[in-house]
Amino acid sequence: MCDMISEQSTEKIGRMKKLRRTLSESFSRLALKKDDNNFDEICVAKMSTHNSQAVDSVIKPLDTIPEDRKVRVQRTQSSFDPFDKPTSQVKRVHSENNACINTKCSSGGKESPKLRRHSSPSSPTSPKFGKADSYEKLEKLGEGSYATVYKGKSKVHGKLVALKVIRLQEEEGTPFTAIREASLLKGLKHTNIVLLHDIIHTKETLTLVFEYVHTDLCQYMDKHPGGLLPDNVKLFLFQLLRGLSYIHQRYILHRDLKPQNLLISDNGELKLADFGLARAKSVPSHTYSNEVVTLWYRPPDVLLGSTEYSTCLDMWGVGCIFVEMIQGVAAFPGMKDVQDQLERIFLVLGTPTEETWPGVHSLPHLKTDRFTQYSSKKLRHAWNKLDYVPHAEDLASKLLQCFPKNRLSAHAALNHEYFSDLPPRLWELSDMSSVFSVPSVKLQPEIGDSSKVYGRSGNHGKSFLNHKH
């Protein structure tokens, strides 16, 4: 028996020596290679060493890995979602990714050619993508708990950019929100979603470089109090739904819809921004945090403690923003806490029951004795300007549904009768085509007090957007 154990140990040691020798040969070949595949092969090599089956079999040289296998490995790596990992695991994976990105070729310590793909061989000192000195900070735009946003200028192409500088702390690693925002935005290409130009990573900061958009919907409404022009509301809402429909079709939830996160360009282009709380929704459904969405735009199911939600979470926010654009005030401006926020919602939409909202009594934060029993009312009784715009009240009522499954989807909302007087070409646009590429569509100049426009005797709809049917 002892001899058998000894033979097995010897055989195992032999396999391990063979494995070590094979790995050494593979990395020796990697160090000698100087082509553009070097970067990808190092990444593949790092992942291959974690394969549990490698101990019992001889690893093939990396040169012999089929191309389709390389692509598969890279795709798996890029779809990593750190939100589902414990903090310590995120730190470990993030540091491994950094090690992979920052790997130098052992011959001369030079960077991989893949990392220098943006630079010009003839001008080594010219501005490069991915370099902090390629951007000039012009002024500070705002500061949050973990990031500061600057207006900047690119030395690469000379255009204005927004620099979101995220402070890194060595003991805590890169914030979840920064990893999530960068990974999601890398794959989103739509005219109604803010464009991520570049990512700059140093020891102290992670900088996300975005296209520069000069204002947001919150500032725009503050500048034009009393409600926006009905025609402009329609254009803004249509663009918001376009962007949401795009991300929802890709199983991505924004989770923080509010006017501050909707950027508005000079010509009226609306762009979804700040994907720090966004996440990819996997199938089957996972349990998510209910600490999402600013209180005024947070749906009642989340306020009541639900952690199982889908794209309907964002659609409640759309309804709130729609009402606010028309009425000129927030739909449900809670002033105290969650209890106050729910009271304001139930005052208009009615206190939920099992008949109106199946399963509501199973939600953890619902205490029926704490809420006044209200009956539902017409939305125009709460927000009178909805009554002056054809089909606006009907659309708002289908978005502001307490029962999540009753809320209209972004795709369905785009086809609501409220948008029936828009040019048909708007539904045929490609993802990267602006609504303003249709010649007859343009933003109307706000005239200050919009109360006259919302009067019943107004001529709204007769010359909408100056287009002809």
pLDDT digits (tens, 9 = 90+) for 107-117: 444 444 433 33
Cα–Cα dist 265/160, whole Å? 13
Average pLDDT, integer, range 285-313: 76
Q: Is the pLDDT of residue 420 over 80?
A: yes
Note the pLDDT of residue 390. Answer: 97
Give Cα 415 to chain centroid, integer Å.
Answer: 24
Domains and CATH numbers, the chain: 13-70 (no CATH), 136-211 (3.30.200.20), 216-466 (1.10.510.10)
3-state secondary structure of 466: helix
Note the pLDDT of residue 372. Answer: 87
Higher per-residue confidence, 460 vs 408: 408
3-state secondary structure of 460: coil
Cα–Cα dist 87/389, whole Å? 49
Q: Which residues participate in catalysis according to the annotation?
A: 256
Note the pLDDT of residue 100. Answer: 36
For 85-135, the pLDDT digits (tens) are 333 333 333 333 343 333 333 344 444 443 333 444 445 555 667 788 889
Cα–Cα dist 310/282, whole Å? 10
**Do the Cβ atoms of 299 and 400 come closer than 8 Å?**
no
For 144-160, the pLDDT digits (tens) are 777 899 999 999 889 99
Higher per-residue confidence, 281 vs 361: 361
pTM: 0.68
Identify the CA nearest to 34 among candidates 150, 136, 113: 113
What is the pLDDT of the chain when averaged over all its residues?
74
Cα–Cα dist 360/266, whole Å? 44
Pairing status of strand 160-167 against strand 147-154? antiparallel
Burial annotation 73-95 (CB, 10 A radius, 16+ → b, else e): beeebeeeebbeeeeeebbebbe
Average pLDDT, integer, range 334-344: 90
Query: What does 357-411 look like in DSSP terms, one character per residue?
Result: STTGGGSTT--GGGS-------HHHH-GGGGGSTTHHHHHHHHS-SSGGGSPPHH
| Maximum mean pLDDT: which of 251-260, 294-303, 400-409 | 400-409
Note the pLDDT of residue 51. Answer: 37
Assign 279 a pLDDT band (cuts: 50, 70, 90): low
Identify the CA nearest to 349 among candidates 390, 309, 399, 423: 399
Note the pLDDT of residue 407. Answer: 96
**Do the Cβ atoms of 246 and 188 come closer than 8 Å?**
yes
Of 37-51, 112-126, 221-235, 256-270, least confident by mean pLDDT is 37-51
Compute the C-alpha angle 345/346/350, nearest 5°: 135
Q: Which residues partner with 205 through β-bridges? A: 167
Hunting for tokens 């402070």 — which residue is that? 167
Query: What does 195-252 look like in DSSP terms, one character per residue?
Result: -EEEEEE-SSEEEEEEE---EEHHHHHHHSTT---HHHHHHHHHHHHHHHHHHHTTTE
Note the pLDDT of residue 209. Answer: 93
